[in-house]
Amino acid sequence: MKHIQRFLLIVFLTGSFFSCSNTKPENNSKPLRIAISRMHRHHTYSNWLHRYDSTVMLYDMYPLGVEQALKLAKTVDGILITGGEDVNPDFFGKIDDTARCGTINHYRDSLEMALIHYAISHKVPLIGICRGEQIINVDLGGSLIIDIPTDWDTVVKHSSKDWKLQWHEVNIVPGTQMAKISGKTHGIVSSSHHQAINKLGAGLRISAYAPDSIPEAIEWADTTSKGFLMATQWHPEHMDTLSPFSAPYAKLFLKKASNYSRNK
């Protein structure tokens, strides 16, 4: 009898675990599939998206190689380009400044530009964070400030050895998508970078600035006949769920991915 009771208890606990481990979408649709250009070892980007939909299936594109990543991109509902190394300055005509850059990852540049090309041409929802914003801008013909501390007259501190201590103000441009989803005109963000947008890429507009006029967010200037695109220099994955510059951003991206999934 004790063995039977123990067996039933195990079955009950096991069933309870699996039934509560994920929150499924209310409409019981298939899980969203999101490609992440390179996942962080601490899973910060995946944790950020899973806060708002625990069923999202996430795919790290970095280990796959460009060809296999593009094959997988054909099956996903959204693409996230993440933070990381400096973009090769040769892409925006500043190869002579390579020595003033940090680490450059040529494979990653090729991979992410291929994913950006695919997302834009096939209208796959696309967002970028930190380096992600920078390489989207470069891919669309823009350029970057090579090193803010030496190239930009500013008292705003944009980088720190400890990102947890790196916060600064941003001003949101009225009438932009960022203004609409945040409901704010200014606020505080977690943003750590030594490079930033200089010349703006084709078709883009700036939706947020730091107090020293350095761009902190971009989006399409005209969304007609285009897929969803937004990018931030700041790190929403480092910010809590109450931030108007984090949760609404993730939720909008997942909503656009869901719409894309239904319509493709």
Active-site residues, by number, are 130, 235, 237
Q: Torsions phi, psi of 59, nearest 5?
A: -125, 120
Q: Coil, strand, or helix at residue 178?
A: helix
CB 79 within 8 A of CB 119: yes
Distance of CA 189 to the CA centre of its chain: 15
Q: How far apart are CA 252 and CA 260, in angstroms?
A: 12
CB 231 within 8 A of CB 215: no
Q: Coil, strand, or helix at residue 214?
A: coil
Distances (CA, A) of 258 to 27, 176, 221: 11, 22, 23
Max CA pair span of the chain: 80
